[in-house]
Amino acid sequence: MWIRMLAAMLAATLVLIALLSANAEYRLFMPGLLEGAVLTVEITLLGAVLAVFMALVAALAKLYGPLPIRWLSTTYIEIFRGTSALVQLFWLYFVLPQFGVFLDAFLVAVLALGLNIGAYGAEVVRGAILSVARGQWEASIALNMSKAQMLRRIILPQAFTAMIPPWGNLFIELVKSTSLVSLITLADLTFKAQQMNQTTLKTVPVFTLVLLIYLAISLTVTIVMRLLEQRASKGLTRGRVA
């Protein structure tokens, strides 16, 4: 139901982009913007992989690690949630080289955004793990499973279903925060837009197209996550009861 509405919105956005591209003034900008969009999508995908990985590691460390590891993971989460994504991006890009660590802008972008979203994701993963009914833990103990077996076979698969919707929101945040990489000179969608705006002064077509392209990317992410949610929850009655 919701998916159909979102699909209709996506279709409308794409049709609008196509219609606008029929206009010569708009068509001029499409190749450059699409080039930028490819970089935006690349950073989003790689950032998402890093974010999910960091979130799982940090959440498990915070829940089950020995005390020092627990502190380390809490520090990571609080620092990356407490400061601004732009500050983190600038820190990795401008400050690390002064300590002798040189990373290229693309790597910095993926690292900063992945670590940032990963910190938010860690709390999502932690919440989802804690939301699995207590009886499931007790049953696994009764079956004499080791802690690792319990997590892998019983708890995580159930937590996974609960995680998908909040991850969907975080991935949208990720798509939106990729626009920040333009400020460390990566030629993403936003960077291309600014460049074209400065060289041609055709402000209205450029920024209209950029908004629509970002909208199309975000809607695609939302639709994919909703489909995933639908598949994961099929045949599963999640027990929210104690």
- Taking the CA atoms of residue 50, residue 55, residue 61 and residue 67 in that order, the dihedral angle to the nearest 10 degrees is 100
* Residue 7 exposed, middle or buried by CB count within 10 Å (0-12, 13-18, 19+): middle
The reply on whether position 90 binds another protein by CB under 8 A is yes
Which residue number, 140 or 218, has a Cβ lying nearer to another protein?
218
Report the distance separating Cα 115 and Cα 82, nearest Å: 12
| 203 in contact with another protein (CB under 8 A) | yes
The pair of three-digit structure tokens given for residue 211, joined into one six-digit string = 């908004």
CA distances from 204 to 6, 15, 26, 137 (A): 26, 18, 9, 57
Looking at the Cβ atoms of 84 and 149, the one nearer to another protein is 84
By CB under 8 A, residue 193 contacts another protein? yes
Q: Closer CB to another protein, residue 33 or residue 60?
A: 33
- Subset of residues 49 to 88 that bind another protein, contact rule: CB under 8 A: 78-79, 81-88
Q: Which residues bind another protein (CB under 8 A)?
A: 9, 78-79, 81-88, 90-91, 94-95, 98-99, 172, 175-180, 182-183, 190, 193-194, 197, 203-204, 207-208, 210-211, 214-215, 218-219, 222
